[in-house]
Chains A and B, each alone.
Chain A
Amino acid sequence: MIRIERRIDANPWWTAGTLVAALAAGMLASALIVATAGADPFEAFRTLFFGAFGSQKAVMTTLIKSTPLILTGLATVIAFRAQIWSIGQEGQVFAGAMAGYLGSQILAGLPPLLFFPGVILFGVAGGLLLGGACAILKTRFGVNEIVSTVMTNYLAIYLLSYLLAGGPWAEIGDGASYQQSVPLPAAEQLPLLFGTKLHIGVLLPFVAAICCAVMLDRTALGYEIKALGTNPVALGHKGTNIARTIIAVMCISGGLAALAGVIELYGVGHRLKADNLVGLGYAGIIVGMIGGLRPLGTVLAGLLFGGLASGAVSMRVVSDIPASLVPAMQGIILLFVLCASVMARYKIVRGTAS
């Protein structure tokens, strides 16, 4: 006889197994979706994966595309591990890019060694403030963080739209109808790594992931974040100031998401434009969850989805399948992964009940 029983201990192999099964099921369901729109799933996946990992150029594009996803994924990890359901990453990416662009106007002319750290700090501060504001809305006014972060997402998006369409940062002239800023001068673009097409910012997600892993596993704050997620009552009895922990979590999470926005501005887009930023935050939620809310897993998931984003371009060109297949796939895979995360807490037992 086979029964299903709740696990007391977590088995990492079983957890990984359910996750891989969920990824496979998600791919299969995505293939069905491709078929519903009248396209050939095999052709779609072939061009998708070839465009993601099939050549040196493809791998570089994948690295560049995964950079912001890993960062917003890490932002998700920090918040969700504390069971704070912040989905403000999208708005924080926008805030990071806007604050980073503001930095370029104040710090213009500084030597690169001061300029780049300076504008990055500006950007990070933008997201940190936005995240912190939502944290205070939660701790001080009891406003649910999901709702407040959604609303601030819309506020950030509309603010950028205002700044770029007829507002103070709009490009005047031929580009005026595109809702974008003037391009950054070459001296203000992130330098490239040893003659490749990779900007220096692609290293940041890996550094950030290591920092997050160390912070979660080796520091008092990391312990408090995890305790906030698992047993906030006990944490309160221990004497920890829970409101302060929530604010710290949202600030760190907001700063990480904003880093994605500012790197995208200085490393890839080279001008402020909503099209370059849209969706990075929401995709980061999926990346963080598929990464099992662990920094290392998030790096792997980010590379996978960065690959899909890079492959989507060649898929559109070669097979004429819309690039928006990728966000659709991300959503489908997420639903399967959520179910798998529940399955991972159960085990299949043979034999009679003890």
Chain B
Amino acid sequence: MSGLFQEAILISIFAATLRTMTPLLFSAMGELVTQRAGIWNMGVEGTMLMGSFIAYFVATSTGSLWLAVLAAILAGAVMGLIIAFMTATMRVDHFVTGLGLNLFAGGITLYWFQSYVRGGPQPSFAGFEDVPLPFLSDIPFIGPVLFSQRLLTYAALFIVPAIWFLLYRTRYGLELRCLGENPKALDVKGLSVPVRQYGAVMFGSAMTGLGGGFLMLAFSDRFIADFSAGRGWIVVVALIAGNWKPKGVLMAVVAFALLEAIATHAQVVGVGVPRQLLLALPYLASIILLMGVRFRTGQPAMLGFPYSRE
């Protein structure tokens, strides 16, 4: 095996890592905001699936990818509205709400999809293409890895510092973190807890919808059942493993994306391990990762507890 070949494989793996982490990163940063506000959203998977399906539907019926991205964001926000209504207004258990939402999304996307296709040939679309940045993409090694990606991947890299700034350097971020630690303090000051929780959940879910949309528009050309295939759950794991801090969550997401990129490349290179076992790696890694996480210092104190004045 020549050095050139090895370098090409490495470039391909790292480029794939960035591509793979894009949807996870959008969703994880959104859900970080949601969870810091005290809502333990377990409906990430269903929200992402909904974003993917709506993106597919709009992309194939209008032909506009950017309209599809917008629709996926809106679909995520609507899912967030349902979650917020059930957790902040009805005060249903957060876990059960998430489970319900996932089952709802799994059923309804499949029904809409089958109704849309109706046994005919499945419409497909041409997804997002790489946008190499001028000059920068010509840098050896770093260029093809970092500067020859989809536009939304560049955007995802800016999301992490933006969310960090929002959470730790703005008044809104302070209130948001207070929601998760001590909502009563806000209530006593006369600031509405439910209004802020609605905002946080809808923002987080919109970001997850965007992640689902990107997953559809950059990785595939058609929808299949259970399209998101557990990526929403990987986001939930990344938040716990990242100790609810932007940098930690980023590192967890990068680790998952790298693992997936290696697994897909191992198939191409032809490692003597069955395909299904490689695909199962991220799920196995999640369990092992969580077994190792002994500290939960960053977990918001009131995460998962419905707030009520009583």
Contact = CB atoms under 8 A, between A and B. Distances in A.
Interface of A: 6, 33, 36-39, 85, 87, 137, 141-144, 146-148, 150-152, 154-155, 158-159, 161-162, 165-167, 282, 285-286, 289, 320-322, 324-332, 334-335, 338-339, 341-342
B173 interface: no
B194 to A, nearest CB: 15
Given A327-B106, A334-B104, A150 B233 contact: yes
Nearest to B112: A37
Interface string B104-122: 1111101111111010000
A150 to B, nearest CB: 5
Contact of A282 (B106, B118, B229, B236): B106
Contact of A285 (B91, B99, B110, B237): B99
Contacts of A332: 104, 107-108
A37 B99 CA distance: 25
Interface residues of B, number: 48
A87 B101 CA distance: 13
Given A150-B233, A324-B110, A338-B96, A282 B103 contact: yes
Given A325-B111, A329-B107, A342-B91, A158 B280 contact: yes
Contact of B284 (A33, A151, A289): A151
B42 interface: yes
Interface stretch (B17-25, B59-67, B286-294): B286-294
A135 to B, nearest CB: 13
A339 B100 CA distance: 11
A335 B86 contact: yes
B111 A37 contact: yes
A336 to B, nearest CB: 9
Q: Which 4 A/B pairs are nearest by Cβ-Cβ distance?
A: A331-B104, A327-B107, A322-B114, A37-B115
B283 A335 contact: no
A155 B103 contact: no
Given A37-B115, A338-B96, A147 B108 contact: no
B107 A328 contact: yes
Contacts of A335: 82, 86, 100-101, 104
A338 B100 contact: yes
A141 B293 CA distance: 8
B105 to A, nearest CB: 7
